[in-house]
Amino acid sequence: MSEDLAQYAKYFHEGGRVKVGVPLDGGGMFPEWGVIASLERDLLEVDLSRDSLPEHARIELGRTLDLGLPSVQGGLSCRGVLVGEEPHGHRLVLRLIEEVVPFEPREFFRQDVYLPLDYRLPFTQIPEDVRARWEEYRREIEFAAQSPEPGEPEELEDSREEIRARLEKRKTAPPVAANMSGGGVRLNIAENLREGEMVELSIYLPHPHPPRVLEIVGEVVQVNPLPDNLRFSTALQYRFIDEADRDRLIGYISAQQLLQLSQHGPRMGLEPEPAGSAWRRRLGVALCIALLAAIAGFLVRANMVKKESGEKWEVQRVFDDGIRKYLRQRQ
């Protein structure tokens, strides 16, 4: 704990800026900047930059909030529990609960996937209505997962079976190639959607177990026509998503990344030689040959001199002994 307190004192300076991730209804975070008012051990007071937050922002005592600190290394992050606030939520009092670590936004790790996925435009683009319909989908999934209670009316069981059949149909939706993260998805589709439109997504995750259909609402943030002039590369940011479903999605993406890495063994001899390596290799061979030739010439000359003096040179003796030993082994 003392190490954490030292970290807090190092990074959270009075008057410094800090980014607070404010939870939104239906999932997601609203990034809000604030100024550090004070730090007492692990108790941090932050004055938010605006007097009022968005309508769907939820500031509740006991809620864990993400904190971000600007840094030349790419940013730092920490988490704190909201333990107090002033009226209108302008000043937040947070109890820091984790060490300060480099910022690693897991939700933005992207992975190409091939999954059963169904998308459709809702009946309305009014955010409140879209959110209400999304919540109804989530309640249906929870209801379908329940076991019937003793004495349950037959109508409830029929309704549960109808929802289960609908969910099973979504599981058999045609697989779609998509580039997916915990924060959004990119699809190649025939429809030319408009930026800002909300889209209902049903994504079937076959694992981790148990398999599950995720109901998500995305908002179109980018549309680019593809070279075939028949489809559009469409990027959606998740507008309404249950945080438990986001974790499931991130877990699936991480598992796919690990699987992909495990299937790529070390490459043997496939990489091109660096520039100049062939020339250096040829030069090295030539130098070795020249050196061996010089040594051989020296040995021949030395041997001749020794023979003329009637002595047998040590190298020649060792060579002859080696030949005799080899011949004995051959016999």
Cα separation, 157 vs 174, in Å, equals 29
Q: Which CATH superfamily is domain 108-262 in?
A: predicted glycosyltransferase like domains (2.40.10.220)
Cα separation, 17 vs 89, in Å, equals 17
Q: Is the dihedral of CA 303, 309, 314, 318 positive or negative?
A: positive
Q: What is the pTM of this model?
A: 0.50
Fold of 2-104: Pnp Oxidase; Chain A (2.30.110)
What are the residue ranges spanned by the domains of the chain? 2-104, 108-262
Residue segments in the chain with a per-residue pLDDT below the cut of 70: 1, 25-29, 71-74, 87-89, 103-109, 208-209, 260-331
Cα separation, 82 vs 163, in Å, equals 38
What are the CA-CA distances from residue 303 to residues 201, 207, 284, 307, 310 (Å)? 88, 78, 28, 6, 10
CA 122 to chain centre: 30
pLDDT digits (tens, 9 = 90+) for 224-256: 998 888 999 999 989 998 888 888 888 888 778
Q: Write out the H or E segment, with its range, that includes residue 127.
A: helix 127-145
Cα separation, 216 vs 131, in Å, equals 10
15 SS3 class: coil
Cα separation, 63 vs 320, in Å, equals 88
pLDDT digits (tens, 9 = 90+) for 167-211: 777 777 788 899 888 888 999 999 999 999 999 999 988 876 678
Token code pair at residue 250: 């991130």
